[in-house]
Structure 1
């Protein structure tokens, strides 16, 4: 092991063991929400619904081609903020996310890591752009709700406050009476990293493939793991 790798391991160990509050992104670090219910098809469905109402022009070709349902929702909200149209589109997305929970794939080691960290005294919160109803449904199914409740902070009607805005992280820190420096955010996207920076919270990137790892490192993430297993190992005596 080189000196650089030893230093990186020491820094990661300190990052993990010093965290008193852990803020989890949901889709990625905890599970793959759309593992069996394609996010691309959900985005297509939202766009098709808009087109059926003669509102195709609310979404650009770039936004339509992104195949990202959250991007479609935010695009419409930017053009009609706070409207009934946006509220109905958000509810449609929430229903699709709820459908996806039945086929969501748990992230390897996530369940046991959450339970172990909680047993060691850390407090947990979910800070996500997904609907909090969806998070609760998934956690209930995995018997993990008690590890987080009541600290689940997800999408609200204020869609401009979705990550990368640090709003949901700040809500969690405020409700838990936690200082940003005593917390740790675990996320899998540059928007998670940006939100953590905005809240002043240390960040640990989780990347299940090389593409996601590259996006995180290029965004400036200092610590990225390809598996949650080494995090669990560092918590064990």
Structure 2
């Protein structure tokens, strides 16, 4: 499949608040400077691509609310989510109040269908594919840790020729919506599947939920934010390293020994397509 067009990569720099975040920033720099055998966990929607750019998730959200009305489920929706355009809010609410029900399955199927459809045309995040390929080539163990459907992630990676870089290591939404990030479950599954220790890992995410999940799993965190508006909540939540582009991470990778290749043999043997 084609690799897609990401556009020119604009070099940028880390931003970090003064204080405790400096230590984490230095640790991230050290990890990327010698990535062989280390573990890098990518959130999917944001750091790898824009699954629902702009208001693209509106159609899925509208379908969710139609299903809520048809099944008379307004009473199980959190009042704070009654006007939400985010289908994940509705899924969490229904799963919390009606765990294991046929209604949860119906919402999950609807969301997965929308995500898989969106993955067929989702634009790549600038620099993401280059970073993934360089990490893989230099022997890093990489995985996707996401609240999205593993089917949607697998479809996107296949379309862009990135499936081999991740192998089976896609840790996405399973049948238990209570274990979506900020719950650390997908991060912990990724570490187990890759055979990695938290101290050897870093997660790249773009939301406070990603940050909390990484912290709970004792994994270092790099925030990705395209502008000040997106960076503000990450910094407010204590993110020690925030990048405006992924190019700075590529720049941290040292030139490897001549002839080095991605160490497929070092990758964990236990993958997961959600559970």
Q: TM-score range by the shorter chain?
A: over 0.9
2:243 matched residue in structure 1: 225
Whether 1:178 and 2:196 are equivalent positions in the alignment is yes
Higher relative contact order (CA 8 A, sep 6+): 2
Q: Distance in 2 between matches of 1:39 and 1:216?
A: 22
Q: Secondary structure at the match of 2:120?
A: helix
Q: Distance in 2 between matches of 1:139 and 1:42?
A: 22
Q: Secondary structure at the match of 1:97?
A: helix
CA contact (8 A) 2:33 2:254 kept: no
How much is the aligned-residue C-alpha RMSD, in angstroms? Answer: 1.9
Q: Distance in 1 between matches of 2:219 and 2:178?
A: 20
* TM-score for the superposition, normalised by structure 2: 0.80
Greater shift, 13-22 or 140-149, is seen at 13-22
Q: CA deviation at 1:117?
A: 0.7
In structure 2, which of residues 188, 207, 221 is the aligned counterpart of residue 203 of structure 1? 221
Whether 1:214 and 2:239 are equivalent positions in the alignment is no
Q: Secondary structure at the match of 1:227?
A: coil
CA contact (8 A) 1:25 1:186 kept: yes
Structure 1: gaps of 5 or more residues: none
CA contact (8 A) 1:183 1:202 kept: yes
Structure 2: gaps of 5 or more residues: 1-17, 256-275
Q: Secondary structure at the match of 1:169?
A: helix
Q: Distance in 2 between matches of 1:50 and 1:86?
A: 11
Q: Secondary structure at the match of 1:105?
A: coil
Whether 1:161 and 2:179 are equivalent positions in the alignment is yes
2:210 matched residue in structure 1: 192
In structure 2, which of residues 64, 73, 76 is the aligned counterpart of residue 46 of structure 1? 64
Q: How many residues align?
A: 233
The runs of 4+ residues in structure 1 deviating greater than 3 Å are 7-12
CA contact (8 A) 1:37 1:103 kept: no
* TM-score for the superposition, normalised by structure 1: 0.92
Whether 1:143 and 2:146 are equivalent positions in the alignment is no
